[in-house]
Chain A
């Protein structure tokens, strides 16, 4: 089973992507999509070192919901900061210690930080234990780190790594 279908989640995602790309749902395209979804993981297996397991799919949906709300809310805030002028910004670099271990969870966290307005992930340390983040305007660095850890990292840990240590 593992040899025939090394990455079931990736296969499913690729099939869905193909259907979105052709923008129609016909039997032929489902078969073609499934075939592509089955073959492409073999061709790209060098990039997929670890098996991806989503332990709590519903929490993942909830996480994406929070993320979209935060993007909308944060965009208004950043727009306000830009219009108010650059003189009163308090940019700062903060270091977020990571509790996450898997590659996918760390990249998702870094992407989340960059997507949510006001913060950009800058550098992942060589031992993958901490992530340097640049914040556009922060009075309290510790509160920012706490917010990132509690709001984004904790759910990701729960979704991808809970009980895997």
Chain B
């Protein structure tokens, strides 16, 4: 019974990670590509971690909580790296499908954006 649950979790995790990577290959500009690995993989890795926690808790003495730590650090670091990648992309004016925010149409008090664009 527990084996069935674990297999389902691992399969679901693998599938979401795969779809995330597929997005990386298929989508057309940097910004949309960024969504694949940061998103679909969140749930993918989440499923794998739950499977790992259940497996080690059942097989060994006591419950295994290392996975909580892994997901905690993942949830803290993944959005930060995505944010920095996107910020760098905006700075480098990469090709974008969506119209990028123009410095003028923005709120006039937006020194960061204007400074970034001025270079």
Contact = CB atoms under 8 A, between A and B. Distances in A.
Interface of B: 16, 19-20, 22-23, 26-29, 31-32, 34-36, 38-40, 42-44, 46, 62, 64-66, 68-69, 72, 75-76, 78-80, 82-83, 86-87, 90, 96-101, 106-107, 109-113, 115-116
B94 to A, nearest CB: 12
Contacts of B78: 114-115
Given A71-B42, A132-B101, A20 B110 contact: no
A117 B40 contact: yes
Contacts of A12: none
A91 B79 contact: no
A118 interface: yes
Interface of A: 17, 20-21, 23-24, 71-72, 74-75, 78-79, 82-83, 85-86, 89, 91-93, 95, 97, 110-115, 117-118, 120-127, 129-130, 132, 134, 136
B77 to A, nearest CB: 10
A79 B19 CA distance: 6
Contact of A21 (B34, B69, B90): B69
B97 A89 contact: yes
Given A82-B26, A82-B36, A114-B38, A123 B69 contact: no
B111 A127 contact: yes
Contacts, number: 145
Nearest to A112: B79
B19 A83 contact: yes
17 contacts: A23-B64, A23-B66, A72-B43, A75-B16, A82-B22, A82-B23, A86-B26, A92-B99, A93-B98, A93-B100, A97-B107, A111-B75, A115-B79, A120-B86, A122-B83, A123-B116, A126-B111
Given A72-B43, A93-B101, A125 B110 contact: yes
A123 B90 contact: yes
Contacts of B96: 91
B37 to A, nearest CB: 11
Contact of B40 (A17, A82, A124): A82
Given A71-B42, A72-B43, A114-B38, A23 B65 contact: yes
Nearest to A138: B98
B32 A136 contact: yes
Contacts of A78: 23, 35-36, 39-40
Contacts of A112: 79
Nearest to A111: B79
B50 to A, nearest CB: 11
Pick the most buried of A71, A82, A123, A132: most chain B CB atoms within 10 A of its CB: A82
